[in-house]
Amino acid sequence: MVLLVVVLGLSCGACSKTSAPPAAQQASPSVSKAETTSDIWKSETTGKQYRVRIEGDHFYADWVELPPAAAQRGAYIRTVCQRAGSKWVGTSSVFMPCTVGEGKSEHIADTCHLTLKLEIDSISKDRITGRAQSLRKFDCQSCKVIEAGWADFEWVPAH
């Protein structure tokens, strides 16, 4: 069995689909920090937390609270998006340990670099929604994506 746990609450082939908030709640073309209530957001899909900042037409998110084993290997997920019409479009740079095996035979096969596409549909004070590339099949031995798709995600302010 091959496992690579990745990305912004996005890499889940069977994730439940979420609908975008009503238009009145969607972010305006220039979202200010005052319009978002939290710097730390939690993925409803994976439980990962991200430090989010918005500077003009740029959106940034960095994974926080990394598991100790991942942190020791220098793991990160960093997302950069730019405003493109009504959406934010960009990529997530991922550097993550990839494990193989199960139970006592589970071990880290490699630490892999990936770049995955991301689109944010809506940013409001209580929700960030969008979709991102997700890994469906991945070879840890060669750090190679065999099959990818798209998965919806939803973040809420962490409390």
pLDDT at 100: 86
* Residue 31 in this model has a pLDDT that exceeds 80: no
Provide DSSP, 87-111: EEEEEEEEEEEEEESSGGG-EEEEE
- Structure confidence by residue, pLDDT tens digits, 82-132: 999 999 999 999 999 988 889 999 888 889 999 999 999 999 999 999 999
| Residue 40: DSSP 8-state | E
Query: Where exactly are the structural domains of the chain?
Result: 2-14+30-157
- Structure confidence by residue, pLDDT tens digits, 34-85: 455 579 999 998 899 999 999 999 999 999 998 888 888 899 999 999 999 9
For 96, counting Cβ atoms within 10 Å of its Cβ (0-12 exposed, 13-18 middle, 19+ buried), the class is buried
Mean pLDDT to the nearest integer, 14-25:
32
pLDDT at 51: 96
pLDDT at 36: 54
Greater confidence (40 vs 9) lies with: 40
Contact predicate 10/151, CB 8 Å: yes
pLDDT at 37: 52
pLDDT at 20: 33
To the question of domain 2-14+30-157 being in CATH 2.40.128, the answer is yes
